[in-house]
Amino acid sequence: MADSRLYSIAAIAKILDVPESTLHYWKNRFDDVLPSMGNGRNKRFRAEAVEVFREIGGMLGQGMATGDVRAALSRRYPVNVGGEVVAAGASGSSGLAGLAGQAGQAGQAETMLAMAAAIGSEIARSLAEHLGRAGGAAAVPALPQETVAALREELEQARAEGAALGGKVRVLEAELMRIRKDRRELEQYLVDKINALRRPGDDA
């Protein structure tokens, strides 16, 4: 008989012995493959989600990229798209369209998430240094290794995207300079033509 119990993030954290903050991070990244009910604070996860969380931690711990983890999970577990469940590995056009739309929204949030993570890490580091100088006994807990690996990957992706955009901007700037130069040459050419067509004495 299938397990019909529902679990909160706190309950799953105890089962897997993983910090709740880490599970919340995974939930936000892989929510579409986590069987659940409800929304917001009322969201509860089905028993199958415990195993999905376990696999997420295992794959991230092995150094797999977030995209590869998502692809592996979507092949093994049903994917929630706009409230509908698409069977694992489904190739229907409607399923792919929904996944593409969701991937687009996730892509727009990638850079913001990476920036927020970097800012949070910097704040934690500054706070730890301040407490150390002040002789405080409190310590800022370190992020789990798999979370750090995921954040580093996202930061690298953000840097790569920034470098690509920088290259495109430089190409556009060079093209703009060429257009301006061509315009000046054309203006000078037209002025010379007009002067050549003027009859002697027109300027008198």
Among residues 110, 108, 84, 109, the alpha carbon closest in space to that of 97 is found at: 84
Residues 64-75 have pLDDT tens digits of: 998 899 889 888
- CA angle (109, 112, 114) in 5-degree steps: 105
Task: Please give the share of the chain, as a percent, with pLDDT higher than 70.
Answer: 64
Q: How many domains does the chain have?
A: 1
Residues 10-62 have pLDDT tens digits of: 999 999 999 999 999 998 988 888 888 888 778 899 888 999 999 999 999 99
The domain in which residue 116 lies consists of: 6-161
Is residue 188 in some structural domain?
Answer: no
Is residue 194 in some structural domain?
Answer: no
**Weakest mean pLDDT among 14-28, 74-88, 95-109, 181-195:** 95-109
Is residue 190 in some structural domain?
Answer: no
| Cα(33)–Cα(49) distance, integer angstroms | 8
The two tokens of residue 200 are 């002697």
Residue ranges of E strands in the chain: 6-7, 36-37, 44-46, 79-81, 84-86
Is residue 51 in some structural domain?
Answer: yes
What is the CATH classification number for the domain harbouring 66? 1.10.1660.10
Report in angstroms the alpha-carbon separations of 66 from 79, 115, 169.
16, 17, 29
Q: What is the pTM of this model?
A: 0.42
Is residue 186 in some structural domain?
Answer: no
The residue written with tokens 């002697």 in the block is 200
Is residue 105 in some structural domain?
Answer: yes
Across 111-127, average pLDDT: 63
The residue written with tokens 């934690």 in the block is 124
Residue ranges of E strands in 8-121: 36-37, 44-46, 79-81, 84-86
